[in-house]
Every structure is written in C-alpha cells, then in structure tokens.
Amino acid sequence: MKKHIAQIIDVIKKHNRFILTTHQLPDGDGLSCEMAFLNFLKQMGKEVFVVNENGIPSKYRFLPGINETLDIKTFKRNNSGPAEVSLVFDCSNAERMGAISGIILKTPVVVNIDHHLENGRFGTINWVDPGQSSVGMMCYFLIAQAGKINKEIAECLYTSLSFDTGSFLYNIKKKTFYVAEELLKYGIDPQALANKIYYQQPLKIIKLLVLILNTISLDNDLKIIWAKVSADMYKKTKTDEEDTEGLIDILRPVKEAEMVFLMKERKNEIKISMRSKSMYNVHKIAKNFGGGGHPNASGFSVYNASLNEAEHLILQFIREKWKDLLI
C-alpha cells in the first residue's frame, strides 16, 4: 500500500491535466471516490475532468462537486487537449468503464485503484487491494498521506464506506471503523449523511419493490431466495434499472436465506446480483457465468435467455455444485 500511495502521489505532483472515471452505472463507492479526488486535485491546483458514461443517479446529487461531472459528449466538446493522467476507481476491468475506456486508455498514465478480487490490471499503475471494503478506504489513506482531507472529501469518503458496507452491516474490515472515526473529525454529520444516502427513495421505487417481492422464491434445502425484475415492471412503475440499485439488500435480512439473488431483465440479457451471508462464496458462481466481484457480493449476466431460462440455468448450477461453493 505504501509503495502505491507514494507512486500515485508522485504522479499527481508531476502532472497537470487529469481525467477521473468509474464503472458504468456508477455507484456510491465509485462516485464518492471521483468527488473526493476532484476536490483533492483541485486543492493541488490541477485541471480535473470527471467523465462518466451514464448520467449521475439522482440519489447521489448531494455529493459535493457532483454537478461538475461531464458526460462523454460534453467532455469531448469542451476538451481543449488530452489529459496526462487518468484515474479509474472501483472498476474491475477496462470494459466496465464503457465508451469512455477509449479515451482513458490513451492517456500516458492510467492509475487503476480497485478492490475487486479479479482486476484486469489495465493501468500503468495498478493498486488493487481486495482486502479493502471500499475504494473509498484506499482513497482515504492516499489523500490523508498527502495531508489534504477536508470536510467535503470526508463527506464523500464516508459515503463510500457506508455504501460498500451496506451502512456498516457487512464486508466490514479491521480498519473500517478507524477510518470512519477519522473522517468524523472533519465535522461531517453521519446522521444527516445517512439520511441523504438511504432515506430519499421516491415512492415509485417502493411500488417497484412490491412487484419484485411478489416474485420471491425459496429453496429451503440450500437456503437460497431470489426474485425477478421484468421489463414490464419498470414500465408499470415508470422506473428503470437505475432504480433497482440496493434493492437486493431487502432480501438479505431473510432468516431462511444464506444466499440471495435478484435477476433483472435487460435487452437480450438477464443481469444477476448475488449476495451471501457466511455459508456460500457467490464469487464462484459469478465466475462460472463470466462475471466477478467479491465472495459475499458478486454479479454476472446470462445472455439471450428469458428470466425463467436464466433462473433455471443458475439453480441447476448451484444445485449441482453447492458443495464447492461453501466457504
């Protein structure tokens, strides 16, 4: 860690134009890290662009600096010259950046900061640490080393820590609470932040949730529950996939479940998010289907299948291989 931090701070000192990004369908970890670095690099007098393939989900509009993010079109229009360094957060491989990856990979220095088990190491500097509960933790250590944490950065990084641990419920590592406490020293209000992160759901999402909950199935022997989201449900509730973010956490508290998964219908694709408590390593399932993630939280896609066909394929695999999936 020390070596990577020194190396990255050195790169930052030596260059002036930076571009920041995270994975497509950005989440609370990646976006918070972008905003923390936007603030940090500006303090250092650098020129910084934050570019994301998709728009910013409305629930993250409270993050300090978020209004400065650009979509690819605006970036290309406003861009007066190539960036020298790109920083990519929470992104396990270059493809997950989406269309922006072309621009990112062309910058002379690509800094890849991630905590996924499998990482494509697409950077010129790859700081990959699956032992960290969030990339926000890694950003904390780096920005703290540079002596540049302030209240805005603390708010961003606290959001990242909270988001990737489900509000400090899972994936909690030795240093999580230490870093959270350090961040609180900058005068942030954790209660107010929790409000902004978790208690701002529009009613339409609850209506979508009702439809999803109606599809719940349970395998009592294997202790698995799962649910489905069809394109039709989005239509009925005027929602889209962005609105399903975090909904899988509704399934997690079920006593009968050691593993939960949510299947989302896309065009020619079923996207699956999986979570486990302590019995199963869901990363192994994701890997089998060409996806990835962490032992307790992973994702993958099944292509050219209906919801029911994908469901059948996944359950067949788990029922055959369940012994190999135990932790």
Which part of the chain contacts Mn ion (CB under 5 A), choosing from 42-50, 90-98, 227-235, 286-294? Answer: 90-98
Which part of the chain contacts Mn ion (CB under 5 A), choosing from 24-32, 193-201, 234-242, 314-322? Answer: 24-32
Near Mn ion in 249-288, by CB under 5 A = none
In 3D space, the residue among 259, 288, 290 whose CA is nearest the CA of residue 276 turns out to be: 259
Q: How far is the CB of 306 from Mn ion (least distance, A)?
A: 30
Q: How far is the CB of 27 from Mn ion (least distance, A)?
A: 7
Q: How far is the CB of 232 from Mn ion (least distance, A)?
A: 31
Q: 109-114 and 85-89: which strand pairing?
A: parallel
- CA distance between the termini of the chain: 27
Q: Which is nearer to Mn ion, 159 or 239 (CB)?
A: 159
Q: Which is nearer to Mn ion, 28 or 64 (CB)?
A: 28
Q: Which is nearer to Mn ion, 90 or 311 (CB)?
A: 90
Q: Which is nearer to Mn ion, 64 or 299 (CB)?
A: 299
Q: Which is nearer to Mn ion, 152 or 164 (CB)?
A: 164
Residue closest to Mn ion when measured from CB atoms: 29
Burial of 294 (0-12, 13-18, 19+ CB in 10 A): buried
- Answer yes or no whether residue 90 interacts with Mn ion by CB under 5 A: yes
Q: How far apart are CA 109 and CA 48, in angstroms?
A: 14
- Answer yes or no whether residue 245 interacts with Mn ion by CB under 5 A: no
Which part of the chain contacts Mn ion (CB under 5 A), choosing from 124-132, 149-157, 162-170, 313-321? Answer: 162-170
Near Mn ion in 119-148, by CB under 5 A = none
Burial 163-177 (b: 16+ CB within 10 A, else e): bbbbeeebbeeeebe
Q: How far apart are CA 197 and CA 8, in angstroms?
A: 30
- Answer yes or no whether residue 114 interacts with Mn ion by CB under 5 A: no
Q: How far is the CB of 89 from Mn ion (least distance, A)?
A: 8
Q: How far is the CB of 166 from Mn ion (least distance, A)?
A: 12
How far is CA 42 from each of CA 79, 301, 319, rounded to the nearest angstrom? 17, 38, 52
Q: How far is the CB of 48 from Mn ion (least distance, A)?
A: 21
Q: Which is nearer to Mn ion, 29 or 311 (CB)?
A: 29
Element housing 276 (H / E)? strand 269-276
Query: Quick one: tokens of 291?
Result: 């996806």
Among 29, 155, 245, 258, contact with Mn ion (rule: CB under 5 A): 29
Q: How far is the CB of 29 from Mn ion (least distance, A)?
A: 3
Do 63 and 159 contact (CB within 8 A), yes or no? yes
Query: Quick one: tokens of 100?
Result: 């922006």
Q: How far apart are CA 209 and CA 18, in angstroms?
A: 40
Tokens 């020390």, located at residue:
2
Q: Tell me which residues touch Mn ion (CB under 5 A).
A: 29, 90, 164
